[in-house]
Chain A
């Protein structure tokens, strides 16, 4: 019986988080995913979204930009393009990115629509996650 989960979030820019937690909620590509210790082994893709972990009474939120989760009974490894803790998100930058993406969507003929949509989704999700604060 595993009591705790070891959560490891890695990005090309290094480890974002490593530690033991009690519960994880991630946004899988097929829907929200709650993970408790002793989960069945699972590999899933993640969409742009929020990842939350609970450790005792502490809950923290991360913005996760597209990635994979490898889930085992006692460890969860998140491999993401980028990941930021809610407090570390640069809201100003996200807002600017959102505006830019919206501008581009208005002139679809000039820009790649898929890219602009992804950028819009990213920035909106960043802003959303940034509003959540770590609770202890």
Chain B
């Protein structure tokens, strides 16, 4: 049986850990609120953009190279993870899905190219000696639009010079605070978005628009922009999910620490009781011996 002092030391250690996890949970909650707000702010922009593109492309798929489906040879997967850990299964879920997708493609004899965002994905693939085409780290926390533009430019450039024929993105989609879902979504070539139903969208799909300067010119500016927007959106979702996952993980850790402290305290009290009883027995024994 552990000595009193050992148990006391463990109780202290666990309660220190508990304080840390509690603080981390609070920080994650604050960051989550911020990330969620940015996500919500972004939504109307992304929706409007989709509706303009829907009006522009009008179902035709060959107006712009970014809309054209080439024969698949090389497929790129953009993997979004976090830079830091301690967020439950957040990263391993994404990486598992990425691994599954990649081996699926390899089985069909496609060349696969990988780009990663976040230190966790980079380290994961590096450990497995998998070559990455590009990597971006240090984005989380202070995500700025110019970083997103760099990623989008890189992808578009490689798509245009036919180094890659198709691009997918895998990331954690934010559902609710307690549930995040890993999704694999196609980024390039873009399927012309369905125009959204309801009064909010562009007038009707049948409306004939005049274009200035020209349909082609507008599309060639708008489509790269839309890729930026989609990546930005995915990054925001991923970030909100990361904080949500961290919050849940830290809450569980705090709860576990509480349980551990309870059981250790019980053990401590039992041990204390036992030592007092032992001492009493000694004293009583001694008195009895003196009497005799």
Binding site for B on A (CB under 8 A): 8, 10-15, 28-30, 40-45, 68, 70, 72-73, 77, 79, 81
11 A-B contact pairs sorted by A residue (CB < 8 Å) = A14-B42, A14-B44, A41-B210, A42-B210, A42-B211, A43-B210, A44-B212, A70-B55, A72-B207, A73-B203, A79-B52
- In the assembled complex, which residues on chain A have CB atoms less than 8 Å from the CB atom of B208? 41
Contact between A42 and B45 (Cβ–Cβ < 8 Å)?
no
**Partner-binding segment picked from B180-188, B215-223, B238-246:** B215-223
B91 to chain A, nearest CB (A): 26
B17 to chain A, nearest CB (A): 39
Chain A residues within an 8 Å CB radius of B203: 41, 72-73
Query: When the two chains form their complex, are residues B207 and A12 in contact, meaning their CB atoms are under 8 A apart?
Result: no
Task: Report the bound CA distance from A45 to B203 in whole Å.
Answer: 18
| CB-based nearest B residue for A42 | B210
Interchain CB contact under 8 A, A28 and B209: no
Looking at the complex, which one of A13, A28, A73, A77 makes contact with B212 (CB distance below 8 Å)? A28
When C-beta atoms are compared, the residue in chain B nearest to A77 turns out to be B48
* A-B contact number at CB 8 A: 71
Question: Does the CB pair B212–A45 fall under 8 Å?
Answer: yes
Question: Looking across the interface, which residue of chain B has its beta carbon closest to that of A31?
Answer: B212
* A40: nearest chain-B partner, CB-CB: B210
Given the known A-B contacts A12-B145, A12-B229, are A42 and B209 also in contact in the complex, defined by CB atoms under 8 Å? yes
Known: A11-B45, A45-B221, A77-B48. A70 touches B211 (CB 8 A): no
Is A12 within 8 A of B42, CB to CB? yes
- Known contacts A12-B229, A70-B202, A79-B52; decide if A44 and B45 are in contact (CB<8 Å): no
Is B56 within 8 A of A43, CB to CB?
Answer: yes
Which of A14, A29, A30, A41 contacts B209 (CB under 8 A)?
A: A41
Residue pair B212, A43 in contact (C-beta under 8 Å): yes
Across the interface, which residues of B come within 8 angstroms of A44, CB to CB? 211-213, 218
In the complex the two chains form, is A10's CB within 8 Å of B211's CB? Answer: no
Q: Measured between C-beta atoms, what is the minimum distance from A49 to chain B in Å?
A: 14
Q: In whole angstroms, how far apart are the Cα atoms of A15 and B47 in the complex?
A: 12
Say whether A72 contacts B202, CB under 8 Å.
yes
* B128 CB to nearest chain A CB (Å): 35
- Cα A15 to Cα B42 in complex, Å, equals 9
Beyond A44-B211, A45-B213, is A68–B41 a contact (Cβ under 8 Å)? Answer: no
* Distance A13 CA – B38 CA, assembled complex (angstroms): 7
With an 8 A cutoff between CB atoms, is B232 at the interface? yes
A-contacting residues, B70-100, CB 8 Å: none
| Further pairs besides A11-B45, A15-B44: 14, Cβ < 8 Å | A10-B48, A12-B45, A28-B212, A30-B212, A41-B203, A41-B207, A42-B210, A42-B211, A43-B212, A43-B218, A44-B213, A68-B52, A72-B203, A77-B52
Contacts of A40 in B (CB 8 A): 210
A15 to B44, CA, bound (A): 7
Q: Tell me which residues from 17 to 62 in chain B have a Cβ below 8 Å from any Cβ of chain A.
A: 38, 40-42, 44-45, 48-49, 51-52, 55-56
- Nearest B residue to A29 by beta-carbon distance? B213
